Amino acid sequence: MPGLAPYLAGAKPWPPLAVHLHAALFYGWMAFFLVQIWLIRTKDIKTHMKLGLAGIGLGAAMTVIGTYMTLYMAKFHYLNGESRQLEFMIVPLSDMVSFPIFFAAAIAFRKIGATHKRLMLLATTVLLGAGFGRFMGRPLSQVFGDDTIFGFWFTLYLMQFLMMVGAMIYDLATRRVIHPAYLMGVPFVLAVQLFTAYVITSPAWPGFAKSLIGVS
Using CA atoms, how far residue 206 sits from 97, 141, 200, in Å, is 20, 21, 8
Q: Calculate the CA 26 to chain-centre distance.
A: 9
pLDDT tens digits for range 29-76? 999 999 999 999 999 999 999 999 999 999 999 999 889 888 988 888
Please state, in angstroms and rounded to a whole number, the distance separating the CA atoms of residues 72 and 94: 16
The residues, ordered by sequence, that sit 6+ positions from 107 with a Cβ below 8 Å of its Cβ are: 56
pLDDT at 144 over 80: no
Q: How many Cβ atoms sit within 10 Å of the Cβ of residue 102? A: 24
For position 43, what pLDDT does the model report? 92
Q: pTM of the predicted model, to two decimals?
A: 0.86
Q: Which amino acid is it at 23?
A: A
Is pLDDT of 106 > 70? Answer: yes
Alpha helices in 80-179 (DSSP H): 83-88, 90-108, 113-125, 129-144, 149-175
Closest CA to 182 of 131, 127, 113, 114: 114
Residue 12 has pLDDT above 70, yes or no: no
Per-residue pLDDT of 149-205, as tens digits, reads: 888 888 888 889 999 999 999 999 999 999 999 999 999 999 999 999 999 989 899
pLDDT value at position 175? 93
* Burial (CB count <10 Å: 0-12, 13-18, 19+), residue 76: middle
| Percent of the chain whose predicted confidence (pLDDT) is above 70 | 85
Whole-number pLDDT of residue 13:
61
With a CB cutoff of 8 Å and minimum separation 6, the contacts of 195 are 94
Work out whether the CA dihedral 47, 48, 49, 50 comes out positive or negative.
Answer: positive
Per the prediction, the chain carries an average pLDDT of 86
